[in-house]
Amino acid sequence: MNASEILRKAERYLRTTHYRQVIRMLEPKILLFNNDSHFYYLLGSACYFTGDIQGAQLYLNKGLVCAEDDIDMRLLLACTSLRRRDTALALQLWLEVDDLDPGNKRAKFGIAKLKTIKTSKDLSHFIMSSHFQKLLPIRPLSPLARLITSTLYTITLMALLFGISFLSFYIFRHLKPQPDFVREGVSSEFNFFQSPPQQFTEESHQALFILTSKEITKIMDQARNYFNLFQDDLAGRELNRILLSNASPSVKNQALLLKEALQPPTFATYTANFSFDEVASQPLLYQGLHVLWRGPINGLNISDYRIAFRLLVGYENGKILEGAIEVLVPFEASIAPNLITNVLGKVVADNQGNFYLEAVSINQIVLLQ
């Protein structure tokens, strides 16, 4: 398969939302496409839509070096910067787009929206809203969308089938109670929702979170929903919140039963995307959970008993250092000191606010100049 065929295939994968296929296809070909801006745009877009914001920023910046006037690259990079809470860089990129293309509606909308955002909470709400999607330069069509738009007959047929399916689901849902868990692995002793504890809270002077009975029920329900969606680290964060709160022993026991069912992620399945700032601000809340961070390394120490190094999180482009974190590798691995390193690791925290990562998996990529 030649270079143009590779890019065309990657474009098809991207349009049909097969983002991880794009990453698996393109990342090993970095040397082949070293100065191809379109290659970096496809790879950066795929990273963005899988939640790998650091990877998206790295590849989009490389693409912008190859094509300095690329508008779509700047628009997607602005969205990436906004998700990293770097509003100054997002504004700079939208202003550059406005200079290159004065009629660009996405850039104007982004600039106008930033003027209304006053706090970090406002920014978080905007990023989670549907309005944020208007800033994206790419909206890949799903296979279903392309099928529906093919002919009027198909649209009518699919609408009819959808209506029948929805009606059947509605009737089934109201005639038969839904199980607490659609995913197996939860201990039969977990009965928080069928038989709520008589006491939800207790007096505690050491709790990090003071919760009401209503808040405890909401958090446990959120943990259950995350678990059913196979988002185990997000579920684990909510369960840790219960364990660090003034919840009663019976509630905490239920949280521990559900936490035992959580499974460790892989590079392909990880979706939580916890930032360094989030973990550093409350390490105990993320105790035992996983992060996926990228950056160069220093202080590599290899002995007969362990491998250790310091990961400079977010510093892969040599501009913004989010933080430095010690990483211990409890398995044999070949690690080069001069490569950008992706670390999927488990957070190990203590009561003094210190933490380090115990590596679960490590991947290194070629350091681009």
Q: Give the model confidence (pLDDT) of 154-171 as tens digits.
A: 676 677 777 777 666 655
pTM over 0.75: no
pLDDT at 180: 67
Q: Per the domain annotation, does 75 fall within a domain?
A: yes
303: three-class secondary structure by DSSP: coil
Does the pLDDT at position 56 exceed 70?
A: yes
The answer as to whether 238 is a domain residue is yes
Q: Does 139 score more than 80 pLDDT?
A: no
pLDDT of residue 189: 83
Same domain assignment for residues 73 and 97 = yes
pLDDT at 368 over 50: no
Q: Which domain holds residue 79?
A: 3-135
Whether residues 126 and 15 fall in one domain: yes
Mean pLDDT score, 301-321? 91
Domains contained in the chain, number: 4
Q: Which of 5, 61, 42 is nearest to 314 (CA)?
A: 61
CATH number, domain with residue 302 = 2.40.50.140
User: What are the tokens at 182?
Assistant: 């659609």
Domain boundary among 122, 156, 175: 175
pLDDT for 177 equals 47
| 8 Å CB contact between 81 and 57 | yes
For the chain, the residue count is: 369
Domain termination site, one of 124, 157, 175: 175
Residues 126 and 40 in one domain: yes
Q: pLDDT class for 280, splitting at 50, 70, 90?
A: very high
Instruction: List the structure tokens of 302.
Output: 């290899």
pLDDT of res. 15: 84
**Is the pLDDT at 327 greater than 50, yes or no?**
yes
**169 and 192 belong to one structural domain:** no
pLDDT tens for each residue of 75-99: 999 999 888 888 899 999 999 999 9
**Per-residue pLDDT tens digits for 167-222:** 666 554 554 444 566 677 787 888 888 888 889 999 888 899 999 999 999 999 99
> Helices 105-116 and 87-100, interaxial angle, to 10°?
150
Angle between helices 71-83 and 87-100 (to 10 degrees): 160
β-pairing, 323-329 vs 355-365, is: parallel
Per-residue model confidence (pLDDT) at position 176: 44
DSSP-derived secondary structure for 190-212: --TTTS--S--B---SS-SB---
Q: Are residues 42 and 128 in the same domain?
A: yes
Q: What is the pLDDT of residue 83?
A: 87
Residue 268 lies in a domain: no
Percentage with pLDDT > 70 across the chain:
89
Whether residues 82 and 161 share a domain: the answer is no
CA atoms within 13 A on the CB side of 332: 1
CA dihedral 328, 315, 59, 95 (to 10 degrees): 150
- Specify whether 13 is located in the same domain as 129: yes
Same domain, 159 and 199: no
Residues 122 and 149 in one domain: no
Say if CB 283 and CB 27 are below 8 A apart: no
**Could you tell me if 324 and 291 lie in one domain?**
yes
Look at residue 348 and tell me if it is in a domain: yes
Q: Of 107, 135, 163, which one is at a domain's C-terminal end?
A: 135
- Verify that 24 and 68 share a domain, yes or no: yes
Within a domain: residue 269? no
| Residue 118 resides in a domain | yes
Phi–psi pair at 365, nearest 5 degrees: -120, 165
Q: How far is CA 105 from CA 88, 116, 134, 299, 342, in A?
A: 19, 17, 9, 47, 36
124 domain residue, yes or no: yes
Q: What is the structure's pLDDT at 154?
A: 61
Least trusted range by pLDDT, from 27-31, 42-46, 272-276 = 27-31
Residue-level pLDDT at 72: 92
Q: Is residue 270 part of a domain?
A: no
**Are residues 89 and 347 in contact, defined by beta-carbon separation less than 8 angstroms?**
no
Region of poorest pLDDT, from 151-155, 194-198, 345-349: 151-155
Whether residues 243 and 354 share a domain: the answer is no
For the chain, give the mean pLDDT. Answer: 86
